């Protein structure tokens, strides 16, 4: 387990870029935390570091899924907040994402039974001074 404190959104984006440089097809990043904790900022930094020409990375809260092409693989950015049951994730292509690309999953607790045992969990907590504590589990490289 690794714990990192970021003092700004720029530091969170920098951390995302560092992790993005190490992922490979089949990696699943489950991002946990309250609203405003930095999950989407992390995803934005992650995606833009792999695909700098991507002008905008909106939260997929309403679309549930956004797919981004990078030179080496597709990044599947999920927001599971609005799902009523885990099985709805099959309808938006979760199986394909797990096998063919890298998955970023906001609100993974909504699909916990579907997550493979081997995934990376990033827990975002807002600290009293506004910093973010990001706890990373399941990463081995």
Tokens of 8: 């700004």
The CATH number given to whatever domain includes residue 118 is 3.40.50.300
CB-based contact 105:111 (threshold 8 Å): yes
3-state class of 124 per DSSP? strand
Domain count, the chain: 1
Say how many residues make up the chain.
Answer: 141
pLDDT of the residue at 61: 67
Interaxial angle between packed helices 39-50 and 9-20, expressed in degrees from 0 to 180 and rounded to the nearest 10: 50
Q: Which domain holds residue 97?
A: 2-137
Helices marked H in the chain: 9-20, 39-50, 88-91, 94-100
pLDDT in tens, the chain (141 residues): 899 999 999 999 999 999 999 999 999 999 999 988 999 999 999 999 998 777 677 677 667 899 999 999 999 999 999 899 999 999 999 999 999 999 999 999 999 999 999 999 999 999 999 999 999 998 665
**pLDDT value at residue 58:** 67
Contact 46, 74 (CB under 8 A): no
pLDDT in the model for residue 140? 65
- 26: enclosing H helix or E strand: none
Specify the pTM: 0.91
- Residues 6 or more apart in contact with residue 117 via CB below 8 angstroms: none
Per-residue tokens: 73: 């693989």
């Amino acid at each position: 387990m690794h714990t990192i404190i970021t003092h700004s959104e720029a530091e969170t984006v920098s951390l995302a870029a560092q992790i993005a440089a190490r992922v490979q097809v089949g990696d699943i990043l489950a991002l946990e935390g309250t609203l405003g904790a930095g999950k989407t900022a992390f995803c934005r930094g992650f995606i833009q570091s792999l695909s700098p020409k991507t002008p905008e990375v909106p939260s997929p809260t309403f679309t549930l899924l956004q797919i981004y092409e990078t030179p080496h693989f597709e990044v599947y950015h999920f927001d599971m907040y609005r799902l009523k049951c885990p099985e709805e994730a099959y309808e938006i292509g979760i199986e394909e994402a797990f096998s063919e690309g890298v998955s970023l999953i906001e609100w993974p607790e909504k699909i916990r039974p579907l997550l493979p045992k081997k995934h990376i969990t990033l827990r975002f907590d807002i600290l009293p001074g506004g910093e973010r504590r990001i706890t990373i589990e399941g990463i081995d490289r």
